Chain A
Amino acid sequence: MTENGIGASVRRKEDYRFLTGKGSYTDDLNLAGQTHAYFVRSPHAHASINSIEVSAALASDGVVAVLTGDDLAADGIGPLICGVNVTSDDGESHRAPPHPALALGKVNYVGDHVAVVIAETIAQAKDAAEKVEVDYGLLPAVTDTATAANDDQQQIHDVAPNNVCFNWPFGDKAVSDAAFKSAYKVSSIDLLNNRMVTNPMEPRAAVGEYNSGTEEITLHLTTQNPHVHRLVLSAFNQLAPEHKLRVVGPDVGGGFGVKIFVYAEELVVGWACRKVNRPVKWTADRTEAFLADAHGRDHVAHAEMALDENGKFLAMRVNTTANLGAYLSTFATMVPSYLYAFLLAGQYSTPIIYSEVKAVFTNTAPVDAARGAGRPEATYLLERLVDVCAEDMELDPAEIRRRNFIPVDAFPYQTPVVQCYDSGDYNAALNKALVLADYGTFSDRAKEAESRGKRRGIGLSSYVEACGIAPSAAVGQLGAGVGLWESAQVRFNPTGNVQVFTGTHSHGQGHETTFAQLVTEQLGVPIENIEIIHGDTAKTQFGMGTYGSRSLAVGGVAIAKACDKLIEKGKKIAAHALEAAEGDIEFSDGNFQVAGTDKAMNIAEVAFTAYVPHSYPEGLEPGFDENAFFDPMNFSFPAGTHVCEVEVDPETGVVEIIKYSAVDDFGKLINPMIVEGQVHGGIVHGVGQALLEGCQYDSDGQLITASYMDYAMPRADNVPSFDVDYAPTNPPHNPLGVKGCGEAGAIGAPPAVINAITNALGIKHIDMPATPENVWRAAQTATS
């Protein structure tokens, strides 16, 4: 390991600009001649639009334009699309209702986009938006996930009878039913996975500018994937040809999935800047973020496990209804299907799994991927069910997990739900986590708490996730419209410093440091001479962006492969300069050396020679600049066990997390400091879901949790500090030996917290969020 190389907790290169207020977020950008956009949004969950009267708004001070869906349609822009096919049980593709970026005759959720006002100032745009008169014809709203497909519900879209997007069975029902018939015991649970609003702290924003001389649109966006935005906006939304559209994602203030998607506002801003031939800026306020960002989770499920007399899992069957909201967001269909059902095996060798997923439309904001995306839903369901099994079998929760873990010698392990896990040692992580959590002495602490009138509980969660998304062939078979490789370019400048262009995007993950560590380790260039560049389609050759914990596992490997090419080329240049055979050149610590001699030149000298090739190998191209693409052979499968210990006050229902211990297998760690930070953040995201966050619509479809006054984000005084450790195994298919760490906490935490609460109260189940009111009610029932 070099001082700043792989395994070092290097302090982050990006921090200085963030700490001094010099970050460059989308809303920080003001362009000369800039106008401001404000969207007129539907106040109703479900309504026809009889008319839109814009004349008063147009006459308002400072207004440049007022544009509606008719204007958008006349220009042939849109509609928005969903990029992943799921085949429904009738053999047809999932139902995809029209998704105009500005409403055409109908609105389908509160916050739906009706018109856009463009004015000289944002205040003038808001003032004018009040003067847009929309005549709505109200329709009954559908908001409840569980009953959305009932016959008596209002149909939202003509193309989707009973509001069903797809019915997607997976597995062999007859085989599963037979296993259940012969089971020693069947454990079951009904639960919901609460709807969440993702809430990165930076609201979404877009600044568009049009150059009439070159006919190029530049869109500055809060995006996790600039090239994906460009591709979709160009190929599917008809905004501009790909070579005439530049997407720039500068510093982005958190993503967690919600900035993957192509949104109406982004398309409209891109279109409007050309229409008015002036730059157009739009920044969401937080209320708009609550209303119109894609939401996450929102499942209702029933799950059963068939067990033998030793507590071995024989078969599992799951019935899930997933709420996709009013329209299909960019990757919506993939989340409750492939990213969910294919993780239902968890860490266990359950031989038979049968799953049915019904995805429904409702008059709520679109639902799509949010930190973990499908995998938290699968893990929560499974890990809650396993605790119910333990209770039914009178086994310790740790013991029933051990009895069912996929053994360490069974890898690679083909699950019954498509995924083939490449590596793992689930017992190792569990055992380490139990030690870290002082699991063995828990009963002493529970007794002590009881003497104070409190109830202690301890809960486990043993999760596995599929990330490093993803092998292109695999996702292609599943119906994805894109390949999910990653690209990198590593360029030496003649003076010896290095610019690395990556197709991934950093919005808090610290890529500028982690990726520089990879390069300093491999090429021996001092880390301060390495710059990581991302987030601009005009700079980076191509890329699929950052989500699914893929940046290091896929993008990092692309960087390493480009470095490999530089070393190979460098050997030729060095061999020529040092008058040696290429086969005799060895490269280490930044030096090309003739083996067994002290003849050497460093990589900066090689780079200079490549750009000033006065004496150079015959036929070799000048330049020291290589690119590489990497398409992984498999997903990666991080796993771990989290242990949460809580103390419940039965008088108030307040749950305090006393101790939280996490032992994860992420493979090799490049920067342990950054990895630990990702774990902390993920855990609190999961604790937020378990204890605090619940997105609520009323029966009329009004979002009643549309601000930080009403939607409880986890705050510093809601959570403890954490004990984090690792139990790594080596993923054989990943050249860097890495697995990904960004989502683990959000996946592992919710069941650990809820299992601790049910343990404390001696109850079978409590739904999330376990707010003081819900816990207090459960405590009353438990004691009565």
Chain B
Amino acid sequence: MLTVSLNVNGESVSGEVEDRTLLVEFLRENLRLTGTHVGCDTSQCGACVVHVDGFSVKSCTLLAAQADGTDVTTIEGLAENGELHPMQQAFKDNHGLQCGFCTPGMVMSAIDIVKRNGSGVDEATVRKELEGNICRCTGYHNIVNAVQAGAKKMGN
């Protein structure tokens, strides 16, 4: 067992973990931040995407120990005072979610896509960059619309 200390959604946290504990397990089980989901075991589906030091990361590919000392933002850390982040709002406005399971990872990836590609990011880029997030419900059409709409809102 070892102790990890990091900043999650603006709060300092620490906990005892096994060497093999993944960041996603630490978030879900130690911190009970269950908005970050696990949809596969091969780092393909993207349901577990969080931001680590400002970059989107699949939290199933990182050991909790590797996240020691980092700043982590999860889906629970986006809304402020009950008001949705522009990207969250865009997903709602554009019906970019159905069952909600892939949604946290989608939103976290989407924000990172906009940060790297700007508020005018085009459809082809959004589709290419979302390749690491799998959704079975929406057919992606409305997710792509949501990301582009959210991008505009983030830019304004």
Which chain A residues have a beta carbon within 8 Å of chain B's beta carbons?
11-12, 14-23, 25, 27-28, 30, 123, 199-203, 251-254, 256, 285-287, 507-510, 673-674, 676-677, 679-685, 707-709, 713-717, 719, 721-722, 745
Closest residue to B40 on the A side, CB-wise? A286
Query: B84, A19: Cβ atoms under 8 Å?
Result: yes
The CA-CA distance from A17 to B20 in the complex, in Å, is 31
Query: A20, B123: Cβ atoms under 8 Å?
Result: no
Question: Knowing that A18-B97, A253-B39 are A-B contacts, what are 9 other residue pairs whose CB atoms are under 8 Å apart, sorted by A's residue number?
Answer: A19-B100, A23-B35, A25-B34, A254-B137, A677-B137, A680-B142, A716-B130, A719-B139, A745-B139
Q: CB within 8 Å of A: which of B38-86?
A: 38-42, 44-45, 47, 74-76, 78-79, 84
> B135 contacts which chain A residues (CB < 8 A)?
201, 716
The CA-CA distance from A12 to B92 in the complex, in Å, is 7
The CA-CA distance from A256 to B140 in the complex, in Å, is 17
> A680 contacts which chain B residues (CB < 8 A)?
138-142
The CA-CA distance from A707 to B97 in the complex, in Å, is 24
Select one of B34, B79, B99, B139 contacting A202, CB under 8 A.
B99
> A681 contacts which chain B residues (CB < 8 A)?
98, 136-139
Closest residue to A745 on the B side, CB-wise? B139
Query: B140, A508: Cβ atoms under 8 Å?
Result: no
The CA-CA distance from A718 to B126 in the complex, in Å, is 12
Closest residue to B99 on the A side, CB-wise? A508
> A23 contacts which chain B residues (CB < 8 A)?
35, 100-101
The contact sample of 19 A-B pairs, CB cut-off 8 A, is A12-B95, A20-B78, A23-B35, A30-B29, A253-B39, A253-B101, A256-B136, A285-B40, A285-B41, A510-B98, A680-B138, A680-B140, A680-B142, A684-B139, A684-B140, A707-B41, A713-B136, A719-B139, A721-B141
**A120 vs chain B, min Cβ distance (A):** 13
Query: B139, A21: Cβ atoms under 8 Å?
Result: no
B107 interfacial contact with A, CB 8 Å: yes
**A329 vs chain B, min Cβ distance (A):** 20
The CA-CA distance from A665 to B141 in the complex, in Å, is 21
Q: Tell which of B33, B42, B144 has the most Cβ of chain A within 10 Å.
A: B42
**B37 vs chain A, min Cβ distance (A):** 7
Closest residue to B135 on the A side, CB-wise? A201
**A452 vs chain B, min Cβ distance (A):** 18
**A286 vs chain B, min Cβ distance (A):** 4
Size range of the chain B interface in the assembly: 35 or more
Known: A201-B39, A677-B142. A21 touches B92 (CB 8 A): no
The DSSP consensus for interface residues of chain B is loop
Q: Mark B92-122, 1 if CB is under 8 A from A, else 0.
A: 1101011111111001000000000000000
**B63 vs chain A, min Cβ distance (A):** 14
Known: A19-B103, A708-B42. A673 touches B95 (CB 8 A): yes
> B38 contacts which chain A residues (CB < 8 A)?
27, 203
Q: Tell which of A19, A23, A677 has the most Cβ of chain B within 10 Å.
A: A19
Closest residue to A683 on the B side, CB-wise? B139
**A60 vs chain B, min Cβ distance (A):** 16
Q: Tell which of A15, A508, A510 has the most Cβ of chain B within 10 Å.
A: A15
**B24 vs chain A, min Cβ distance (A):** 12
> B84 contacts which chain A residues (CB < 8 A)?
16, 19-20
Known: A23-B35, A680-B141. A18 touches B136 (CB 8 A): no
> A16 contacts which chain B residues (CB < 8 A)?
84, 92
B127 interfacial contact with A, CB 8 Å: yes
**A368 vs chain B, min Cβ distance (A):** 17
> A254 contacts which chain B residues (CB < 8 A)?
98-99, 101, 136-137
Select one of B76, B107, B130 contacting A715, CB under 8 A.
B130
**A25 vs chain B, min Cβ distance (A):** 7
> A683 contacts which chain B residues (CB < 8 A)?
139
> B104 contacts which chain A residues (CB < 8 A)?
21
Q: Tell which of A123, A508, A682, A709 has the most Cβ of chain B within 10 Å.
A: A508
The CA-CA distance from A17 to B135 in the complex, in Å, is 18
> A123 contacts which chain B residues (CB < 8 A)?
18, 20
> A286 contacts which chain B residues (CB < 8 A)?
39-42, 45
**B92 vs chain A, min Cβ distance (A):** 4
> B35 contacts which chain A residues (CB < 8 A)?
20-23
Q: Tell which of B76, B97, B99 has the most Cβ of chain A within 10 Å.
A: B99
Q: Mark B1-44, 1 if CB is under 8 A from A, else 0.
A: 00000000000000000101000000011001111111111101
Closest residue to B130 on the A side, CB-wise? A716
The CA-CA distance from A253 to B134 in the complex, in Å, is 13
Query: A677, B138: Cβ atoms under 8 Å?
Result: yes
The CA-CA distance from A676 to B142 in the complex, in Å, is 9
**B32 vs chain A, min Cβ distance (A):** 8
The CA-CA distance from A669 to B152 in the complex, in Å, is 30
The CA-CA distance from A25 to B37 in the complex, in Å, is 9
Query: B137, A21: Cβ atoms under 8 Å?
Result: no
**A158 vs chain B, min Cβ distance (A):** 36
The CA-CA distance from A714 to B140 in the complex, in Å, is 9
Closest 7 CB pairs of A and B: A21-B35, A253-B101, A18-B100, A508-B99, A680-B139, A708-B44, A508-B98
Closest residue to A199 on the B side, CB-wise? B136
Closest residue to A687 on the B side, CB-wise? B139
Query: B95, A677: Cβ atoms under 8 Å?
Result: yes
The CA-CA distance from A123 to B36 in the complex, in Å, is 20
Q: Tell which of A285, A674, A677, A707 has the most Cβ of chain B within 10 Å.
A: A677
Query: A287, B138: Cβ atoms under 8 Å?
Result: no
Query: A721, B92: Cβ atoms under 8 Å?
Result: no
